[in-house]
Structure 1
Amino acid sequence: MKDIPVAARLGATLGEGPVWDAERSCLWFVDIKGKKLHRFDPETGALASTDAPGEIGWALPADNGRLLCGLQTGLHWFDTGTRAFTFWRAVEPDLPGNRLNDACTDAQGRVWFGSMDNSEAGATGWFYRLDAGQIDRVGPGPVSITNGPAVSPGGDRIYFTDTVGRRIWQAALHEDGSLGDARPYLTFTGDEGYPDGSITDAEGNVWVGFFAGHGARRFDPAGREIEFVRLPVANVTKLAFGGEGLKTLYATTAAKGLSAEQRAAQPHAGDLFAFEADTPGHALAPAHVA
């Protein structure tokens, strides 16, 4: 087993949502329970953190120069210059116990994201599509914890994850943003842990971080496992391709749920890891919401 190096030490309670910002050559990610937005500069190793006005699930570079962020209270803008958050709009005002959890963009800049029960008890989470300012509920649901979504490099397929149900669906994604029927892609019943965030590489393989699974797994489009990368921490939440040629995989992790004994045995729980991928990623479009 190869050693996976730590890129940044921060001991996040619930590190999540890594995304490469090609324009700024940096990685954005969050600590949901710590209410922090982090910016990592791989060139210098510098880590800059900003307090968010609530539990923040994700931040995506947008084509207006800002970041679009999903918080428990809804969608916010983040100005990278002033480092200020501005509320934009609510998503589920009728579900105050929910929060937004994970997101991605497709080739047209549409934003796909999910919600979840913040207590992780009830099946109140849904998947959404943000397209030209309009928010629509899409995909399978309701579920307790939504994760992903992830879009194939060709833009013709999307994956949705039900973490508690330990399953991943796939659906055809049409050019106009409509979806085909969601059908099973992967189901887990063994000791792999719980499927968390997912992304795709340039060949259409799907990388999945596993909470309580000690690593990340790569699956081909047919659902066959082709790689397992073990990390020295139990809770691996999501990966993102970044760096030159999108050949580096960054992995966020979490200390959440670990006992004092487990925490002592996993001193890097909640840190950011990085390793080189055999297959690079593919460029992600900035969020377009006009």
Structure 2
Amino acid sequence: MSVSVVLKNACSTCGEGPHWDDVTKCLSFVDIMAGDCHRWDSQTGDHEKIHIGNPTSLIIPREKGGYIVSQGLQLAQLDWQSKQLKPILSVDLEKPKNRFNDGKCDTLGRLWAGTMGYETYPGDIEKEVAHLYMFDKEQNLHTIKDKVNISNGMAWTADNRTFFYTHSMPRKVFAYDFDLVSGNISKERVVVDFTEKSIDEFGIPDGMTIDLNDKIWLACYFSSRIFQIDPETGKILQTIKFETSNITSCCFGGPNYDELYATSSTIGLTAESLAKQPLAGSIFKVNNINAKGVPGIAYQG
């Protein structure tokens, strides 16, 4: 296993939402509180960014062209060439301090995206005021789950029968039975529980991805680590340690989907900590992980 830096200090605040586009061979990601959308071309090495206003927490390609992005409590369409942003809808209007957080598309190309309560410091959150939503191909919004604190990483098994969902506080990952046709989830159970474990070693569960063998790869804020976990047993199979503490999310990419890309953040680090962690906010690539993923799904609406 080897860890390298793809883009040093690419994000001044919180890098998040990595998505590998198999068509363009580009990695897209966001810098949440800076309000920037980034795109790195793996073939040319070109790195571009567009400022759309903070906070922006997800960027996912659209099958019809461009991207779907979040901006605060709003979902919007972004045309990369013209840099034009077209609002679609807003959520959680009764809680204007909430914001969108992580998002991902299921096999049918529906966007699953969650919100989070107002956060004064990583993990210090207004509780049970946010939601998990599903945004279908007809651009209808469905509320999947309420009383959420920090909605975060998502993944589905290869057979589309199980949905994994990170609820960052109280530091758990849940599994649900998943009905692909309806999008309904049921039978909630805990598959990862870090509530009694050290923050320094296990951190706060954040973004995640899944490999071809249905093992989840969970990035943990404050821990410097991504864990490969067997969700059936809860056993940690592999641990990847980085030279910065705030690892936020990950996705598979590369020609064979055997490279793991990871984002990181500077938020919550003091000036002294930042001096000791010069790679905070960087984008990393991990090779030789003995696992492969699948292409990220574009939004079909």
Shared fold (TM-score, shorter chain, > 0.5): yes
- 3-state secondary structure, aligned to 1:261: helix
Stretches of structure 2 that go unaligned for 5 or more consecutive residues are: none
Of 162-171 and 114-123, the range deviating more from structure 2:
114-123
| 1:58 aligned residue | 58
| 1:221 aligned residue | 231
2:162 equivalent to 1:151: no
Instruction: Indicate conservation of the 8 Å contact 1:106/1:285, yes or no.
Output: yes
Of 256-265 and 124-133, the range deviating more from structure 2:
124-133
> CA separation in 2, counterparts of 1:24 and 1:91?
31
Deviation (angstroms), 1:273: 0.3
> CA separation in 1, counterparts of 2:88 and 2:270?
38
Q: Percent identity?
A: 26
2:186 equivalent to 1:180: yes
**CA deviation vs aligned residue, 1:87-106 (integer Å, no higher than 9, x gap):** 11112222211100001111
What letter is aligned with 2:298?
P
Change (3 A) 1:228 1:27: same
Instruction: Show the 5 A alignment for 1:1-290.
Output: 4-9=3-8, 10-119=10-119, 120-123=124-127, 124-131=129-136, 132-139=138-145, 141-176=146-181, 177-188=183-194, 189-191=196-198, 192-222=202-232, 223-276=234-287, 277-289=289-301
> CA separation in 1, counterparts of 2:126 and 2:191?
24
> CA separation in 1, counterparts of 2:282 and 2:118?
22
> CA separation in 2, counterparts of 1:48 and 1:84?
15
> CA separation in 1, counterparts of 2:14 and 2:180?
34
Deviation (angstroms), 1:133: 1.6
Change (3 A) 1:53 1:260: closer
User: What TM-score do you get using the length of structure 2 for normalisation?
Assistant: 0.92
Instruction: Indicate conservation of the 8 Å contact 1:53/1:85, yes or no.
Output: no
**CA deviation vs aligned residue, 1:119-141 (integer Å, no higher than 9, x gap):** 252121211111232111114x4
Of 165-174 and 82-91, the range deviating more from structure 2:
82-91
Instruction: Indicate conservation of the 8 Å contact 1:11/1:268, yes or no.
Output: no
> CA separation in 2, counterparts of 1:32 and 1:11?
9
Deviation (angstroms), 1:112: 0.9
> CA separation in 2, counterparts of 1:54 and 1:280?
33
Of 77-86 and 34-43, the range deviating more from structure 2:
77-86
User: What TM-score do you get using the length of structure 1 for normalisation?
Assistant: 0.95
> CA separation in 1, counterparts of 2:272 and 2:164?
36
> CA separation in 2, counterparts of 1:154 and 1:36?
35
Instruction: Indicate conservation of the 8 Å contact 2:54/2:72, yes or no.
Output: yes
> CA separation in 1, counterparts of 2:72 and 2:11?
22
**CA deviation vs aligned residue, 1:69-95 (integer Å, no higher than 9, x gap):** 122131010112212222111122222
> CA separation in 2, counterparts of 1:154 and 1:220?
16
What letter is aligned with 1:284?
G
> CA separation in 1, counterparts of 2:248 and 2:158?
21
Of 183-192 and 116-125, the range deviating more from structure 2:
116-125
Of 3-12 and 195-204, the range deviating more from structure 2:
3-12
Deviation (angstroms), 1:283: 2.1
Of 201-210 and 5-14, the range deviating more from structure 2:
5-14
What letter is aligned with 1:130?
F
Deviation (angstroms), 1:11: 4.2
CA RMSD of aligned residues (A): 1.4
What letter is aligned with 1:128?
Y
Instruction: Indicate conservation of the 8 Å contact 2:253/2:295, yes or no.
Output: no
Deviation (angstroms), 1:239: 0.2
